Copies of this chain bind each other. A is one copy, B any other.
Amino acid sequence: MHSSSNCADCNCKVSIFKNLTPLELALINSSRFQVSYKAGEIIFKQGTPSPYFVCVTSGLAKIYIEGYGKNLILALIKPVDYIFGPGIYVDNRHYYSASAVEDCQACLVDVTVFKKLIRENPDFAEEFIKRVSLQSIFNFDQVISLTQKQMHGRIADVIFYLCDKIYCQNPFELTISRQDLADLSGMSKESAIRILKEFKEEGILTLSGNTLEVLNPKQLRQISETG
Q: How distant is the Cα of A25 from the Cα of B201 in the complex, in angstroms? A: 63
Any B CB within 8 A of the CB of A52: no
Any B CB within 8 A of the CB of A199: no
Any B CB within 8 A of the CB of A53: no
- A147 close to B72 (CB less than 8 A): yes
* Set B88, B115, B125, B140: member contacting A119, Cβ < 8 A: B125
Chain A residues with a Cβ closer than 8 Å to the other chain, count = 40
**Complex copy number for this chain:** 2
Given the interface pairs A72-B147, A139-B139, A147-B186, the reply to whether A86 lies near B122 with Cβ below 8 Å is: no
Q: How distant is the Cα of A135 from the Cα of B136 in the complex, in angstroms? A: 10
* Set B70, B90, B118, B139: member contacting A125, Cβ < 8 A: B118
CB contacts (< 8 Å) of A65 on chain B: these are 140, 143-144
Q: Which of A134, A135, A137 has most chain B Cβ within 10 Å? A: A137
Q: How distant is the Cα of A42 from the Cα of B88 in the complex, in angstroms? A: 35
Any B CB within 8 A of the CB of A43: no
CB contacts (< 8 Å) of A190 on chain B: these are none
Seen from chain A, the residues whose Cβ lies within 8 Å of a Cβ on chain B are 65, 67-70, 72, 86-90, 95-96, 115, 118-120, 122, 125-126, 128-130, 132-137, 139-140, 142-144, 146-149, 186, 227
- B126 close to A129 (CB less than 8 A): no
- A87 close to B120 (CB less than 8 A): no
